[in-house]
Chains A and B, each alone.
Chain A
Amino acid sequence: MKQLSTKVTSNGHGQDSSYFLGWEEYEKNPYDEIKNPDGIIQMGLAENQLCFDLIETWLAKNPDAAGLKKDGQSIFKELALFQDYHGLPEFKKALAEFMEEIRGNRVTFDPSKIVLAAGSTSANETLMFCLAEPGDAFLLPTPYYPGFDRDLKWRTGAEIVPIHCTSSNGFQITESALQQAYQQAQKLDLKVKGVLVTNPSNPLGTMLTRREINLLVDFISSKNIHLISDEIYSGTVFGFEQFVSVMDVLKDKNLENSEVSKRVHVVYSLSKDLGLPGFRVGAIYSNDEMVVSAATKMSSFGLVSSQTQYLLSALLSDKKFTSKYLDENQKRLKIRQKQLVSGLEAAGVTCLKSNAGLFCWVDMRHLLDTNTFEAELELWKKIVYEVKLNISPGSSCHCTEPGWFRVCFANMSEDTLDLAMKRLKEYVESTDSRRMISKSSHERIKSLRKRTVSNWVFRVSWTDRVPDER
């Protein structure tokens, strides 16, 4: 008799063995400015390391929050005992307000509709358990975060059917792509329960346009299905345009108390905006009472530590801090992204025009030997082994076109990013001269500079590692 479950033996957590290389190589030989200047630079980690100083300053001025005290009195005992799956009221209130602030206070979030979870990994899985039966499907636009294969499918038994997006229109979601995905699901005999989008997008780094969101709302309305909007990167928007949340669109379309609004659920987390992935803070927001109720009970399987809830309720309740933080964070991200984009340009590499996220979606199609995924992997290996940069190949994000890569910019110092760009430039130049650029490839490069592309980087996994960072 089979001793372990099928979940364990069939490797449904989505691990890809070719992925091992990048991480393994990085860990064997990690770059360090002083100790290992020739090491591999990690550009596959979507972490936000740009604003820790702001939080550290706040912590120094507000020692009670980490010290488990309130107004100088110890509340250790109360926190130690607090395991209510409804969450610390002060924390949910502060989180709701923070989410509002990120959306320019154009929409409101009711704390009683928030369900806390130990990270958005837990939040997304829980939503799937609430909305889908084993064998049901969710439609996801490609390229998407590789972790979704594990988070949404592994233990839930649900399926993902891709909504194919292409560079022909900047990877935007079209009506025909939606319909095609739906039909594909039906061909596969899968019941579609909803659509899940990440907005701003990982790996694209772009925000969904109002038009796309309208399309999605109309689509789920006509099909009577759900829409999950994972807005984990909502606080990383640094462009001139403001972030449009699906909640904005529901409000603008006067759909706030409608039936469709009950089928729209938002996922959030503090892992990207605040750079606190270690603290495991995620949230589900839903207008459907039954979903809130069921998800709340399910959160028992991944509650946020009360010690952490308390610290962050104090931090996020400080409106001076949040206002300054969001502002400064955006500024720094913008500068850093620009540094990456111009560095790439100097190497003749373009990105998808983006205004959010912690990464760029980089177009390296012109560096491929052939327009195939094999060539993409070959190029990737070269970049890992020779250029010594760990970036994420588009195939790991289910991109349908070879040659795109996600490259992160917010998880290293300015100097390190500079060095990474120099290495890339050197590599491209040496490759060019080795190839002895022919007219056709010259034309190719020229036309590529006109297009806007972005590259998404993702973590690779090997041995028993799965990318848990996005």
Chain B
Amino acid sequence: MGILSKKATCNTHGQDSSYFLGWEEYEKNPYDEIKNPDGIIQMGLAENQLSFDLIESWLAKNPDAANFQREGQSIFRELALFQDYHGLPSFKNAMADFMSENRGNRVSFDPKKLVLTAGATPANETLMFCLADRGDAFLIPTPYYPGFDRDLKWRTEAEIVPIQCTSANGFRITKSALEEAYEQAQKLNLKVKGVLITNPSNPLGTTTTRTELNHLLDFISRKKIHLISDEIYSGTVFASPGFISVMEVLKDRKLENTDVFNRVHIVYSLSKDLGLPGFRVGVIYSNDDIVVSAATKMSSFGLISSQTQYLLSALLSDKNFTKNYLEENQIRLKNRHKKLVSGLEAVGIDCLKSNAGLFCWVDMRHLLKSNTFEAEIELWKKIVYEVKLNISPGSSCHCNEPGWFRVCFANMSEDTLKVALDRLKEFVDGPSSTTRSQSEHLRLKNLRKMKVSNWVFRLSFHDREPEER
């Protein structure tokens, strides 16, 4: 008799051993402007580090929020005892408003339909527990966030069937791809319970078009299945055509009192827009009372710390702050995105044209020895070991075309991004005296700056899995 469960022993949490290399190498040899200028630059982490200063100034001006005070009075006890899985009302109100603001106030969210969870990771898993039985399947467009293999399948025992998207049309979801995926599931004898999309997309960095959203709604309507729209990157849209949430489409098509309305669920989080993955703040939004009710009970398995709920309810209730933040965040993302794109262009590398996210979907097919995934991994290893950039290979995102890579741009300083691009240029063009003296100049410049060293650092990578998206 097995002493441990299959879940504990069989590694279905989706770890891919070739993935280890990137992380492992990075952790052995992490880039530091001063201490380790030849180290590996982390470009595989979809973190938003561009706007912390905005939050820090707000915190400095509003010390009560972190200090368990409300209008000068201590509310420590109330917060220490507050474990109601319905969540802090002021926080849910602020979240609902913030989500609305992110959508230009074109749709509104009812706080009573929000379920709080410790991050989008449990939000997604919980939705699966609510919508799918063991062995049921969800259709997901490729390429998709590798973490979904763990989040949606591991403990729920649900299945994922890919909706194959290709570069032929910018990886857009087509009607035929949807139908093919559905038939594939049936061939595998799997009951399809729904479709899950990430909008804006990870790893593509593109917003889902109205056409695609319409196709999806028609599809789930016909098949009488669910649609989960993971809108975790909704606040990172920095260019046109702008963000269109599935909620807007439902409203525009006047589907609000129909059957399909109850089968559309949204997932959100503050990990990307606000750059707060450590605080574990996620939500499920559903128009189905039963789903809200069940998910609320399930949130017991991953509630948000009341300390954190309070801090963020104060932050997000400040409309001056949220307005300024969303605007400034977009401007900075746009600039940073442009730097990456032009830097890549300068060395003959294209990206999928994108308007959102914290990364670009980079086309390195022309650098492959052959049009195979083996060649992709070969190229990837070179980029990790020789160019010393940790980027994510498309195969890890289940892309069906070799040669695509996700490269993050918002988790490092501008200078570091420049160093990364210089290195890439060297790799593509061959070393030049110009690039060498530039990096040396940069290094000396940075030695003159004093930086507070990061005392919080990840320990080991052994059985580590990249949990950041």
**A: which residues have CB within 8 A of B?**
1, 3-9, 13, 47, 49, 52, 55-56, 59, 63, 66-68, 70, 73-86, 88-89, 118-119, 121-122, 125, 129-134, 136, 150-151, 154-155, 191, 224, 226, 263, 271, 275-280, 288, 290-291, 293-298, 300-308, 311, 464, 466, 468-469
Contact of B467 among A74, A76, A83, A466 (CB under 8 A): A83
Pick the contact of A278: B83, B155, B302, B460 (CB < 8 A).
B83
Residue-wise, chain B 42-63 has the 8 Å CB interface mask toward A (1 for contact) of 0000010100100110010001
| CB-defined contacts of A56 to chain B, threshold 8 Å | 74, 76-77
Q: Mark B349-393, 1 if CB is under 8 A from A, else 0.
A: 000000000000000000000000000000000000000000000
B278, A305: Cβ atoms closer than 8 Å: yes
Q: Is B303 an interface residue (CB 8 A)?
A: yes
Cα distance A75–B278 in the bound complex, in angstroms: 12
A7 CA to B128 CA, complexed, in Å: 10
Query: Is the Cβ of B277 less than 8 Å from the Cβ of A278?
Result: no
Contact of B468 among A7, A83, A295, A298 (CB under 8 A): A83
22 A-B residue pairs with Cβ-Cβ distance under 8 Å, sorted by A, are A1-B191, A3-B224, A3-B263, A5-B129, A56-B76, A59-B68, A66-B66, A75-B456, A77-B56, A86-B458, A119-B83, A155-B129, A226-B3, A278-B81, A290-B4, A291-B4, A294-B9, A302-B302, A306-B279, A307-B308, A468-B85, A469-B83
Question: Which residues in A have their C-beta under 8 angstroms from that of B85?
Answer: 468
B259 → chain A, closest Cβ, in Å? Answer: 10
- The answer to whether A8 touches B130, judged by C-beta atoms less than 8 angstroms apart, is yes
Q: Which residues of A lie under 8 Å from residue B7 when comparing CB positions?
A: 129-130, 294
Question: Chain B's nearest CB lies how many Å from the CB of A5?
Answer: 5
Q: How far is the CB of A126 from chain B (nearest CB, A)?
A: 8
Apart from A76-B52, A131-B4, A277-B80, 8 more pairs, CB < 8 Å = A6-B133, A80-B278, A118-B302, A300-B467, A307-B278, A307-B307, A464-B293, A468-B83
A91 to chain B, nearest CB (A): 11
Contact of A55 among B63, B76, B293 (CB under 8 A): B76
What is the CB-to-nearest-CB distance from B236 to chain A, in angstroms, rounded to a whole number?
A: 16
Find residues 256-298 in chain B having any chain A CB closer than 8 Å to their own CB.
263, 271, 275-280, 288, 290-291, 293-294, 296-298
Chain B residue with Cβ nearest A89: B459
What's the nearest-Cβ distance from chain B to residue A313, in Å? 11
Bound: A131/B452 CA distance, A: 44
Residues of A within 8 A of B307 (CB): 66, 278-279, 305, 307-308, 311
Contacts of B417 in A (CB 8 A): none
Closest to B224 in A: A1
A75, B52: Cα distance in complex, Å = 11
Inter-subunit contact B150/A13 (CB<8 Å): no
**What residues of A have a CB within 8 angstroms of the CB of B4 in the complex?**
130-131, 288, 290-291, 294
Q: Which of B63, B136, B275, B288 contacts A80 (CB 8 A)?
A: B275
Which B residues, 405 to 444, have Cβ-Cβ distances below 8 Å to chain A? none
Given A5-B130, A83-B280, A278-B307, answer yes or no on A131-B1 (Cβ-Cβ < 8 Å).
no
Nearest first, the 4 closest Cβ-Cβ pairs linking A and B are A306-B278, A278-B306, A302-B302, A294-B8
Question: Among the listed B77, B118, B305, which residue makes an inter-chain contact with A52, where contact means beta carbons less than 8 Å apart?
Answer: B77
A121 to B299, CA, bound (A): 10
By a CB distance below 8 angstroms, the chain B residues around A302 are 118, 122, 301-302
Most central of A88, A130, A151 by chain B CB within 10 Å: A130
Q: Does B347 contact A (CB under 8 A)?
A: no
The residues of A that contact B464 with a CB separation of less than 8 Å are 86
CB distance from B70 to the nearest CB of A (A): 14
B301 touches A4 (CB 8 A): no
Within 8 A of A (CB), among B317-375: none
B97 at the interface (CB under 8 A from A): no
Selected contact of B297 from candidates A13, A77, A119, A134, CB within 8 Å: A13
CA–CA, A118 to B119, complex, Å?
11
Closest-CB distance, B49 to chain A (whole angstroms): 7
B5, B154, B458: the one contacting A131 at CB < 8 Å is B5
B304 within 8 A of A: yes
Least CB separation from A52: chain B residue = B77
Question: Looking across the interface, which residue of chain A has its beta carbon closest to that of B127?
Answer: A5
Name the distance in Å between B303's Cβ and chain A's nearest Cβ. Answer: 5
Could you tell me the distance in whole angstroms from the C-beta of A183 to the nearest C-beta in chain B? 17
Min C-beta distance of B247 to chain A, whole Å: 20
How far is it, in angstroms, between the C-alpha of A229 and the C-alpha of B134 when the chains are bound?
29
- A443–chain B nearest beta-carbon distance, Å: 44
Q: Could you tell me the distance between the alpha carbons of A464 and B458 in the complex, rounded to whole angstroms? A: 40
Contacts of A4 in B (CB 8 A): 130-131, 288, 290-291, 294
Interface centre among A9, A77, A290, A311 (most CB of B within 10 A): A77
Closest beta carbon of chain A to B80's beta carbon, Å: 5
For the complex, give the distance between the alpha carbons of A82 and B277 in Å: 7
Q: Is the CB of A5 within 8 A of B191?
A: no
Q: How far is the CA of A155 from the CA of B155 in the complex (A)?
A: 9
In the assembly, what is the distance between CA of A467 and CA of B108, in Å?
31
B17 within 8 A of A: no
B460 and A301 within 8 A (CB):
no
CA distance A13 to B52 in the complex (A): 40
How far is it, in angstroms, between the C-alpha of A149 and the C-alpha of B47 when the chains are bound?
A: 38
Q: How far is the CA of A150 from the CA of B85 in the complex (A)?
A: 14
Residues of A within 8 A of B5 (CB): 129-133, 136
In the assembled complex, the CB of A297 is this many whole angstroms from the nearest CB of chain B, namely 5
Is A122 a contact partner of B301 (Cβ separation < 8 A)?
A: yes
B6:A133 contact, CB within 8 angstroms: yes
Set B271, B279, B297, B460: member contacting A466, Cβ < 8 A:
B297
- Known contacts A3-B226, A290-B9: does B300 contact A121 (CB below 8 Å)? yes
Residue of A nearest to B194 (CB): A3
- Name the B residues within 8 Å of A288 (CB-CB): 4
Mask of B9-27 contacts with A, CB within 8 angstroms, 1/0: 1000100000000000000
Which one of B276, B294, B311 lies within 8 Å of A8 (CB-CB)? B294
Residue pair B305, A279 in contact (C-beta under 8 Å): yes
Known contacts A80-B276, A88-B456, A305 near B304 by CB under 8 Å: yes
- Across the interface, name the chain B residue whose C-beta is closest to A6: B133
Knowing A66-B66, A307-B305, the reply to whether A47 touches B463 (Cβ < 8 A) is no
Does B125 have its Cβ within 8 Å of any Cβ on chain A?
yes
Residues of B within 8 A of A119 (CB): 83, 300, 303
Asked if B80 and A52 make an inter-chain contact with CB atoms under 8 angstroms apart, the answer reads: yes
**A304: chain B residues within 8 A (beta carbon):** 280, 305
**B239 adjacent to chain A (CB < 8 Å):** no
A263 to B49, CA, bound (A): 43
Q: Which of A68, A154, A275, A466 contacts B80 (CB 8 A)?
A: A275
B303 touches A280 (CB 8 A): yes
| Residues in A whose Cβ lies below 8 Å from that of B300 | 119, 121-122, 150-151, 466, 468
Which residues from B are CB-within-8-Å of A86? 458-460, 464
- Contacts A8-B130, A118-B118, A191-B1; is A279 near B458 (CB within 8 Å)? no
- Is the beta-carbon distance between B303 and A118 smaller than 8 angstroms? yes
Q: Give the residues in chain B near A290, CB-CB below 8 Å.
A: 4, 8-9
Residues of chain A within 8 A (CB-CB) of B118 are 118, 280, 301-303, 305
A45 → chain B closest CB, angstroms: 9
Nearest Cβ in chain B — how far from A436, in angstroms? 44
The CA-CA distance from A136 to B4 in the complex, in Å, is 11
- A413-B431 Cα distance, complex, nearest whole Å: 75
For A9, A49, A134, A303, the residue with the greatest tally of chain B CB atoms inside 10 Å of its CB is A303
Contact check, B280 vs A59: say whether CB atoms are below 8 A apart: no
Contact A296 B463 (CB under 8 A): yes
With an 8 A cutoff between CB atoms, is B100 at the interface? Answer: no
A74-B56 contact given A7-B129, A83-B278, A279-B80, CB 8 Å threshold? yes
Residues in A whose Cβ lies below 8 Å from that of B297: 13, 150, 464, 466
How distant is the Cα of A154 from the Cα of B294 in the complex, in angstroms?
11
The yes or no answer to B121 lying at the interface (CB within 8 A) is: yes
Minimum CB–CB distance from A292 to chain B (whole Å) comes to 9
User: In the complex, are the beta carbons of A300 and B121 less than 8 A apart?
Assistant: yes
Asked if residues A82 and B452 are in contact (CB atoms below 8 Å), the reply is: no
Q: Find the A residue at minimum CB distance from B83.
A: A277
Whether, in the assembled complex, B454 has its beta carbon less than 8 Å from a beta carbon of chain A, the answer is: yes
